[in-house]
């Protein structure tokens, strides 16, 4: 399943989710979501997820994939204001 389009091309992963709290409150779900790269089978990432009990694997994967957009925004913002080249120096008041 392709998570989202990225600057260097699509990111395609295999996804699996396992219920980790079978005695949970009604209507709530807890999962361990695992992601494996199709291109690099040794690349494995895991997420602990919480949401409505009927949440599909596709929805869990879509939400997990939104983190890349947030990371890209932070990276772009740091570059625009020069924080990517910032060095901290000590200054005593």
For residue 89, is pLDDT > 60?
Answer: yes
The full DSSP string for the chain is -EEEEETTEEEEEEEEEEE--TT--TTEEEEEEEEEESS-TT-EEEEEEEEETT--HHHHHHHHHHHHHHHHHHHHHHHHHTGGG--------
Q: What is the count of structural domains for the chain? A: 1
Residue 90 resides in a domain? no
Domain span at 64: 2-82
Which tens digits make up the pLDDT trace of 14-64? 999 999 987 778 899 999 999 998 888 888 999 999 999 889 999 999 888
Position 23 scores a pLDDT of: 76
Predicted structure pTM score: 0.64
* 15 or 87, higher pLDDT: 15
Residue 91 resides in a domain? no
* 82 or 49, higher pLDDT: 49
Position 79 scores a pLDDT of: 80
- CA-to-CA distance for 53 and 30, rounded, in angstroms? 8
Position 55 scores a pLDDT of: 93
Residue 36 resides in a domain? yes
């Amino acid at each position: 399943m392709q998570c989202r389009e990225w600057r260097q091309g699509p990111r395609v992963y295999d996804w699996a989710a396992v219920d980790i709290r079978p005695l949970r409150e009604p209507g709530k779900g807890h999962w361990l979501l695992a992601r494996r790269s199709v291109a690099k089978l040794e690349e494995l990432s895991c997420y602990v997820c919480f949401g409505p009990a009927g949440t599909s694997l596709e929805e869990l994967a879509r939400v997990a994939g939104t983190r890349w957009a947030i990371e890209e925004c932070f990276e772009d913002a740091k570059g625009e204001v020069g924080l990517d080249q910032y060095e901290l120096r000590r200054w005593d008041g």
